Amino acid sequence: MKWIRGETIGHGSFSTVSLATTSGSSTSSFPKLIAVKSSGVVCSAALRNERDVLDDLRDCPEIVRCFGEATTVENGEEVYNLFLEYASGGNLGDRVKNSGEALPECEVRRFTRSIVRGLCYIHSKGFAHCDVKLENVLLFGDGGDVKISDFGLAKRRGENVAEIRGTPLYMAPEAVNHGEFEAPADIWALGCSVVEMSSGETAWCLEEVTDVMSLMVRIGSSDEVPTVPVELSEEGKDFVRKCFVKNPADRWTAQMLLDHPFLAVDDDENSSGGSLKCGEQKASASPRDPFDFPEWNSVQSPVTVCSPVCYSPFSCLVRSPEVRIIGLVSENVPDWSVSCDWVNVR
Ligand SMILES: Nc1ncnc2c1ncn2[C@@H]1O[C@H](COP(=O)(O)OP(=O)(O)OP(=O)(O)O)[C@@H](O)[C@H]1O
């Protein structure tokens, strides 16, 4: 396949994403427009990991497709490129920020359903995404379809990671306390994403969070969980609460969440021939509290004992708690005003 790099459409911590046009005899199996995610070969470990993971996760409609890879030399530098399905609608985080307000609940529900389906697939294949957030959910077509992207931090179940990874605002208590980055941590991050879609605000209020350490303490060591948006229906509130169960063993799985009443209404089916349209209230009874669900009783276990928080926002190379804590005492206070300034640690 021949391709020509076009305009830059996105920047991440370790990559630049450009639009590209394809040509040549083999293009019948490729779209004319693709996204190319690139980074210097020397720091391409995350991109190569993304490629390997996407290889194992192909064929899921809720996960961005990968068409292959290539190395180029540009301005004297060796560049590693990953060819991805192009999402013409950009990312869901920008969509929420640009709208400046909460999304309508029917949209929240539709997007959440797709994300949960994607997570089900990821988890069923033995992976954890480790960086679920709205910036990593891409919009396709007319903006109605979403797919999960950015698998640079994804890992196999049980694989040990030495460093804290992910985006602090979306981190689960067990990730903060014990460095556990497994499927339940993705579900916590899903809850943060649903809060953000349905309130237009990040799950942890940025004005109250002055530094990473205080956020880590709130997530890891207190009983506090993010505030459930008042705007949500009772089903929506309950769905979010299921994601914010502190003990990962008690948190609902993606498979369980697929059957949650919040996701049970199919807006598309209903708008084409059914009784319920976007904006209408669902008539059926919603659960009044978490204990209304039979699954709740079967998964109870003791509350986790929280241990001290260890996290360095400024280095991915530190290992010991002592060194990590020294990193936390840095005088460099990040700018919390926009969520993209939260640091991804790889
Ligand atoms: N396939 C795509 N189609 C369209 N835009 C994309 C695509 N992939 C990524 N982007 C845009 O580029 C941005 C950065 O991409 P991505 O998050 O994958 O990079 P990253 O280097 O892994 O970033 P991060 O700092 O989140 O780890 C995305 O938020 C999105 O706006």
CB 54 less than 6 A from any atom of ligand 1:
no
- Half-sphere exposure for 188 (CA within 13 Å, toward CB): 33
Is 37 marked as binding a ligand? yes
**Which region, left, alpha or beta, applies to residue 87 given φ > 0 means left and ψ of -120 to 50 means alpha?**
beta
- Euclidean distance between CA atoms 253 and 251, whole angstroms: 6
Q: Whose CA is nearest to atom 10 of ligand 1?
A: 10
Listed by start position, the domains of the chain span: 2-85, 92-263, 298-329
Give the pairing type, strands 155-156 and 2-11.
unpaired
Structural class in CATH, domain 2-85? alpha beta
pLDDT in tens, 284-293: 333 333 333 3
Cα within 13 Å of Cα(102), Cβ side: 14
Count CB-CB contacts under 10 A for residue 78.
Answer: 12
Q: Write down the ipTM of this complex.
A: 0.97
Range 92-263 has CATH code 3.40.228.10:
no
Higher pLDDT, 273 or 34: 34
| Region for residue 100 given its phi and psi (left: phi exceeds 0; alpha: psi -120 to 50; beta: otherwise) | left
| Mutation to probe ligand 1, out of 5, 8, 15, 17 (largest number of atoms < 8 A from CB) | 17
Mapped onto helix, strand or coil, the DSSP state of residue 282 is coil
Q: What digits encode the pLDDT tens for the residues 175-202?
A: 999 999 999 999 999 999 999 999 999 9
Q: Decide whether 2-85 matches 92-263 in CATH topology.
A: no
Q: Is the dihedral of CA 141, 144, 145, 148 positive or negative?
A: positive
User: Which residues carry out catalysis?
Assistant: 131
* CA atoms within 13 Å, Cβ hemisphere of 53: 26
> Residue 64: which of 51, 49, 48, 45 has the closest Cα?
51
Q: Is the pTM of this model over 0.95?
A: no
Q: For residue 38, give both structure tokens.
A: 């690139």
- Mean pLDDT lowest for which of 49-58, 63-72, 159-168, 244-253? 159-168
Two tokens, residue 114? 């797709």
